[in-house]
Structure 1
Amino acid sequence: MSRALDPVVPPPLRALLDADPGAEAADGFTLLLLTTRADGWPHQAMLSVGEVACAGDDRLALAVWPSSSSTANLRERGRATLTAVVDGVSYLLRLDVREAGELATPLGGTLARFDARVVAAVADEAPYARLEDGVRFTLNDRDATLTRWREVKEALR
C-alpha cells in the first residue's frame, strides 16, 4: 500500500545517508536513480551511499559520472526519481534537479554534481508481507572504495 509522505527525505533513509559509508547498515546498500531519456523511456542507474548526501530536510546532493546517460538526462530534463528500500519500506522520492558544477576529488576523480530538491515522497509497503531488501552489492575492494566514498561525501557536504 502506497502512502504519500511530506516532501522531505524520510528519516530512515536520511539516517542511512548521513551515516558513514562503511557503517553496517550501508554495506551493499543501493539507491536506484531513474531519469528520462530523450526518447521518453526511463533510464536506471545505481548509486551508493558514497554518492548521495543529505543537504537539508528536503535536499540531496548527488555525485554522478560526468559522461553517463544519467548525467545527460539530468542536464536535459532536470528531474529524477530516487528509490530505496530501508527497514522493510520502499521509498520513492521525486526530485527537481539542477547541475551544481563538477566535484573533483583525488580518489573519486571528477564527477558531475547535482543538487536535488524533494518535491514528492511516497512510502510503499504491503500489509501482508515485509519487504526484505532492495538491490544490494558486495564491494571488490572494500577499503579503497570506502575511502573514495568518504572523500566524495565530504566534498558533497
Structure 2
Amino acid sequence: MEEMQMSEELFRLLDGSRMVSKQGDAMMLLTVTEDHWPHVAMISAGEILALDRQQLRLALWPGTTTTGNMIRTGKATLAAFIGGRAHYVRLLLDQLPELPDAEYPRARFTATVAASRTDTAKYADILTGVTIRLKNPAEVLKRWEKTHKELLR
C-alpha cells in the first residue's frame, strides 16, 4: 500500500542526527534520462535530509546526470534498504537557489513525498542494501554536517 509519507524508520535514517553511525549508509536515487532510460545513482545519508516524513532536502554534485535529470523532470525515486525492508519513495522536486557562500557548492533540491511504499519478501530476509566505507571519515562527516546546515537555509 502506498502512503503520502515515508516510514518512521526511513525518516530516522534521514533526520540528520547521529551521522557517525550512519556514515556507511547509502541509498539508490533513480531518475530518468532524456532518452527515457532509468538512471541509478548512489546518495549518502550526508546528502539528503528529512525535515519531516513528507519533506526532504537533497544536495547533489552540480553537472551530474542525476542532477540534470532532476532539474528537467522534477522527479526522482529514492530506494533504501533498512531494517529488513525495502523502502521506495517517489519524490516531487523543486530546485533551490544556489548558495554563493557555500563551502561545498551543491545543486540543492526540496522534495515532497508523492508516494511511499515499504516492501518485504515472504520467502527471504533483506539483510543489507548499499553499504559504503568512507575513505576519510573525519573529512566527509565535516562536509556532511555543513551540507545539512546549508540544506536548511
| Structure 1 residue aligned with 2:147 | 152
Give the aligned residue type for 2:19: P
Q: Distance in 1 between matches of 2:84 and 2:114?
A: 23
Select 2:66's aligned residue among 50, 57, 70.
70
Q: TM-score, normalised by structure 2?
A: 0.93
Where in structure 2 are the equivalents of 1:84-95 lying within 5 Å? Answer: 84-95=80-91
Select 1:123's aligned residue among 118, 121, 128.
118
Preserved contact between residue 20 and residue 150 of structure 1 (Cα < 8 Å): no
Where 1:56 maps in the other structure, the secondary structure is coil
Q: TM-score, normalised by structure 1?
A: 0.91
- The structure richer in strand per residue is 1
Select 1:53's aligned residue among 46, 49, 54.
49
CA RMSD of aligned residues (A): 1.2
Which blocks of at least 5 consecutive residues in structure 1 are unaligned?
A: none
Give the aligned residue type for 2:65: S
Preserved contact between residue 9 and residue 59 of structure 1 (Cα < 8 Å): no
Give the aligned residue type for 2:94: R
Which blocks of at least 5 consecutive residues in structure 2 are unaligned?
A: none
Identity of aligned residues (%): 34
| Structure 1 residue aligned with 2:23 | 27
Q: How many residues get paired?
A: 150
Q: Distance in 2 between matches of 1:36 and 1:140?
A: 30
Where 2:127 maps in the other structure, the secondary structure is coil
